[in-house]
A and B are shown apart, each in its own frame.
Chain A
Amino acid sequence: MLEYAIAIVTFTAIYAVVALGLNLQWGETGLVNLGQVGFMAIGAYTSALLALAGWPFWFAIPAAAAAAGASSVLLVAVTPRLREDYLAIVTLGFSEAIRLVLLNEAWIGGGARGLVDLPQPLRGVVPDGAYTAAYAALTVAALAVTGWVFSRITRAPIGRLLRAVREDEVVPQAVGKSVLRLKAQAFVLGAAAAGLGGSLYVHYLRYIAPEMFTAQVSVFVLVAVLAAGGGSHARTVLGAVVVAVILEGTRFLKDYLPGIDGVQLAALRLMVIGAALVALCLWRPEAMARREAP
């Protein structure tokens, strides 16, 4: 039971890191991103491959965040003026493209079979009996650092500029700021958080495969951010807690629901997430629409 609680804390912290990234892009800056899982995948494969090649974790994990952030520059560069509905399909398609490449190019990360026996940070440093707790502490620490950095950013002058981009792009332009540059900064930071989360995810599970990075995960993160209403870091973490509890905290339900098998329980869980998304749209449609009339 304690192990179960520790696992839920770990998953929650990881989801929360990725959700904070999306919140910076979407909640603060108004940039639609339905492909957060693509940046998780880039970060995860980066640190997994580096760690397998013998690089230390103090290098591999930051490199994961950096690789994910750098790859998002590409996306921003090609989609500077896209409207939000087009940006939604492009980001979703981008993450699916990443997954397809990882699936087909076995030389990168073993293709569909993936890579197993990934090295783990702190392994050997802490006693094996306390390892899962130590890893949970590591993910919570990563969440704390991400939250601290992001709240510093949003409270700084640049945070006001990002919100100005969300409200009305003409305003930052009028005071001589490059909207494209601001968007790129928010996008890169948010993608870097996803890369960090992806990296923490696979080193926890000790294996990596393309199937872990389907578009579903982007929707989980999206629901966490929307549930928080966008904008507040603390509430975004709370949103991630709710989503993680729906996803990971319902595994034991199988014992209490006779006549429902594993596939059905998994399907039911995803239906709950879908219903939550629909309900959020019904409940607060104006919160997710841009402030200016479309």
Chain B
Amino acid sequence: MDLLAQYALYGLVSASILALPASALTLVYGLLHYPNFAIAELVMVGAYVAVALQVVGVPLPLAVGGAGLLVGALATGLDQGLFRRVRRYGPLPPLLMSIGVMFILQNAVRFVAGNRMRAFDLPVLRPLEVLGLRIGPYQLVMVGVSVVLLVVGHLLLARTRIGKAIRATADNPEVALASGIDAERVARIVWFATGILAGVAGGLLALETVVSPLMGWNLLLPVFAVAVLGGLGSLSGALVGALIVGLAQEWSTLLLPATYKNLVAFVILAAILLWRPSGLLGRARPSGR
């Protein structure tokens, strides 16, 4: 029982990391209707940027924030330079393009930084004990920052003008356009937000794990499982999905080797597509568009 609770806590930590790129994936999907396979590589790039900044002496919060902004700029650049050009041809061309981008990013990092594992230059801290459960101080930071970012993102989307414009465009691009919303500006902002979410997720992830060129790839299936489980396009769904996948992955290590975590994610993904292709909280998919 204690073990179950302890692993549930680890599951919460995983969920806090998965929720960020999954929200990013689902945001772009909700607005532009294609899945971005390069999302996990943006997380990887964010991790490298954060570690590189911190190792040369930038304070940790600035390093993680800087990673978010830099990856935000990178994501916007990718959309403007590449994805935007094929957007109107349906989901497949941008999807395949994102796989090409995935290859390029992963191997550009490998070219520059090699296969060697890297990590923040940080002291090792003793785990805290709360109610008989252990949690590392860095893990607390991961959960805290992630929750703050998700709450801020939610408020921006729910309360601000631009948030309204994003939701309106996602709901019905023609009507949004007719009411004077600049769809291209909305797309740029969403892509920038996507990059911030992914970049910060990378910086946070590097607090707990070593950084390597393959870390993005290892995140891809869980992130997709989360987004599909929540219903692609649904932000609140992504949160619920992250909790379910995070818990399932951590609990599975009680029974299976830890290397099967991604298999667990795939089984969830396949099961949900069989049972409810629009996800748990997803609305009926935006068909006919």
Please report A residues at the B interface, Cβ cutoff 8 Å: 32, 34, 78-79, 81-86, 88-90, 93-94, 96-97, 100-101, 103-104, 215-216, 219, 222, 226, 263-264, 266-268, 270-271, 273-278, 280-282, 285-286, 288-290, 293-294
Interface on chain B toward A: helix, strand, loop, or mixed SS?
helix
Selected from B90, B104, B108, B289, the residue in CB contact (under 8 A) with A278 is B104
Do B262 and A100 touch across chains, with their CB atoms under 8 A apart? yes
Can you name 18 A-B residue pairings with CB atoms under 8 Å? Answer: A81-B277, A90-B270, A90-B273, A93-B224, A97-B267, A104-B257, A219-B103, A264-B111, A271-B108, A273-B100, A275-B100, A276-B100, A282-B82, A282-B97, A285-B85, A288-B89, A288-B93, A294-B91
CB distance from A107 to the nearest CB of B (A): 13
Q: In the complex, which residue of chain B has the Cβ closest to the Cβ of A86?
A: B273
Selected from A103, A273, A285, the residue in CB contact (under 8 A) with B93 is A285
Selected from A83, A85, A89, A270, the residue in CB contact (under 8 A) with B107 is A270
Selected from A84, A96, A222, A282, the residue in CB contact (under 8 A) with B221 is A96
Do A278 and B259 touch across chains, with their CB atoms under 8 A apart? no
Q: Please report the C-alpha to C-alpha distance between residue A216 and residue B103 in the assembled complex, in whole angstroms.
A: 8
Do A273 and B103 touch across chains, with their CB atoms under 8 A apart? yes
Extra contacts, 6 of them, besides A78-B270, A266-B110, A281-B96 (Cβ < 8 A), are A85-B35, A94-B270, A96-B266, A219-B99, A282-B86, A290-B92
Q: Please report the C-alpha to C-alpha distance between residue A23 and residue B7 in the assembled complex, in whole angstroms.
A: 45
Do B269 and A90 touch across chains, with their CB atoms under 8 A apart? yes
Do B107 and A268 touch across chains, with their CB atoms under 8 A apart? yes
Q: Please report the C-alpha to C-alpha distance between residue A276 and residue B103 in the assembled complex, in whole angstroms.
A: 10
Q: Please report the C-alpha to C-alpha distance between residue A275 and residue B96 in the assembled complex, in whole angstroms.
A: 11
Interface residue B15 (Cβ < 8 Å from any Cβ of A): no
Chain B residues with CB under 8 A of A81: 277
Do B269 and A103 touch across chains, with their CB atoms under 8 A apart? no
Q: Please report the C-alpha to C-alpha distance between residue A219 and residue B102 in the assembled complex, in whole angstroms.
A: 11
Tell me which residues from 237 to 269 in chain B have a Cβ below 8 Å from any Cβ of chain A.
257, 259-260, 262-263, 266-267, 269
Q: If the complex has contacts A93-B266, A290-B92, are A79 and B273 also in contact, measured as CB distance less than 8 A?
A: yes
Do A263 and B99 touch across chains, with their CB atoms under 8 A apart? no
Interface on chain A toward B: helix, strand, loop, or mixed SS?
helix
Chain A residues with CB under 8 A of B259: 100, 103-104
Do B86 and A263 touch across chains, with their CB atoms under 8 A apart? no
Q: In the complex, which residue of chain B has the Cβ closest to the Cβ of A30?
A: B92
Interface residue B42 (Cβ < 8 Å from any Cβ of A): no
Q: If the complex has contacts A100-B260, A263-B115, are A285 and B108 also in contact, measured as CB distance less than 8 A?
A: no
B90, B114, B224: residue with the most chain A Cβ atoms closer than 10 Å? B90
Question: How does the 8 Å CB contact mask read for B91-130 relative to A, with 1 for contact and 0 for none?
Answer: 1111111011111101110110011000000000000000
Q: Please report the C-alpha to C-alpha distance between residue A104 and residue B96 in the assembled complex, in whole angstroms.
A: 30
Chain B residues with CB under 8 A of A275: 100, 104
Q: Please report the C-alpha to C-alpha distance between residue A24 and residue B85 in the assembled complex, in whole angstroms.
A: 28
Chain A residues with CB under 8 A of B273: 79, 82, 86, 90
Do A78 and B97 touch across chains, with their CB atoms under 8 A apart? no
